[in-house]
Amino acid sequence: MQSGNGASAPLNPGLVFEMVQAQQKTAALKAAIDLDIFRAVGEGPGDVPSIARHCAASERGTRILCDFLVINGVLEKEGNCYKHTPTSAAFLDPRSPACMASVAQFLSNPALRGPLDNLADVVRTGRTSLPGDGTVEPENPVWVDFAEQMAPMMGPMAGPLGLVVLEGQTGPMRVLDIAAGHGLFGIEIAKQNPEAHVTGLDWAPVLRVALKNAEKAGVQARYNMLPGSAFDVEFGGPYDAVLLTNFLHHFDKPTCVGLMKKVRAATRPGGRVATLEFVPNEDRVSPPMPAAFSMTMLTTTPSGDAYTFNELKAMYDEAGFSGVSAHPIPMSPHTIVMGNA
């Protein structure tokens, strides 16, 4: 079995050059967001002097940055004027409700960048070079940033996740949202089922972000908070459904199985557990986005990974769940994996 982009590709020195220079792309997107370039382009007229004036930037810098964004498909150019591509209009113009600028800010967070500056050492030791246990260090404030900044990326997945979890189920139900973060997944269940009561579990400062989102959605009366570590606090229950989104990838398999057993014990017979994960194919090198996510887990955690479906299914099975099924979310790198208690 051959896998990967390069398997049958011709000799291409440009591939090496492109990879070496790739760090320019991250820097350019971050700079464009910091400078408010995408709003300036959206408001028009889009010539260099106008954009430079809006952004209080030099014309040389503005022209070169905007050309670079065109080369990378997040602006387009007509004559000497820059315009949005469909992608930049939807996801980078701050006037768009789907704007993901804060996502870019989170993912290029200098606090998470350190390990990339000496990735060879990280590969040698096999674990994050961040202080302590990296992003899974208790009470790491990075999760408040995550809750606040990653919501635009996670929001669009809440609807599909709610549909898969509820499967048309109505009537009173209790839902536990582990590592709730922004809270959007549990909140979506509460929106789709007006008799659902949701308990969000996360560090206390993170839950304050979730509660604000619950208030915005008008479901705060049915939103309870359980502050602390998923490994330490009593879950209560039994629950009809448990959400475990973007969480398992931070830990090694035995830790995941241990947690899944605790989840199983808090789920009523016939209840369901739903994880949301980056799930690469069994070859671990496709599709590109879910597969590449393991690099983020290498640099930021002691032992996390992007688990394949077979690996996740084995964890579910060992913890006593059955009927494990995968539900890829269209237009996203995420997959919902469901299991029945």
| Half-sphere exposure at residue 334, Cβ-oriented, CA atoms within 13 angstroms | 19
Quick one: which segment of 50-58, 162-170, 235-243, 259-267 binds a second copy (CB under 8 A)?
A: 50-58
Residue numbers 183-242 binding a second copy by CB under 8 A:
none
Min dist. Cβ of residue 26 to a second copy (A):
4
Instruction: For a second copy, give the closer residue by CB, 114 or 258.
Output: 114
Ordered strands of the 322-328 beta sheet: 223-227, 196-202, 173-178, 239-245, 267-278, 334-340, 322-328
Instruction: For a second copy, give the closer residue by CB, 121 or 195.
Output: 121
Is 40 among the residues that bind a second copy (CB under 8 A)? no
Residue numbers 71-90 binding a second copy by CB under 8 A:
71-79, 85-88, 90
Is 111 among the residues that bind a second copy (CB under 8 A)? no
The residue among 199, 335, 183, 176 whose CA lies nearest residue 262 is 176
The residue among 190, 236, 227, 189 whose CA lies nearest residue 209 is 227
Taking phi over 0 as left and psi of -120 to 50 as alpha, with beta for the rest, 50 belongs to alpha
- Binding residue (CB under 8 A) for a second copy from 44, 45, 53, 58: 58
CA torsion, points 181, 146, 152, 316, in degrees to nearest 10? -50
Is 100 among the residues that bind a second copy (CB under 8 A)? yes
On whether the CB atoms of residues 37 and 92 are closer than 8 A, the answer is: no
Quick one: CA dihedral 76, 78, 79, 82, positive or negative?
negative
Quick one: which segment of 98-106, 158-166, 194-202, 239-247 binds a second copy (CB under 8 A)?
A: 98-106
Residue numbers 306-335 binding a second copy by CB under 8 A:
331-333
Is 124 among the residues that bind a second copy (CB under 8 A)? yes
Taking phi over 0 as left and psi of -120 to 50 as alpha, with beta for the rest, 81 belongs to beta
- Binding residue (CB under 8 A) for a second copy from 289, 310, 325, 326: 289
Is 22 among the residues that bind a second copy (CB under 8 A)? yes
Min dist. Cβ of residue 203 to a second copy (A):
25
| Half-sphere exposure at residue 218, Cβ-oriented, CA atoms within 13 angstroms | 4
Instruction: For a second copy, give the closer residue by CB, 119 or 233.
Output: 119
- Binding residue (CB under 8 A) for a second copy from 42, 61, 237, 258: 61
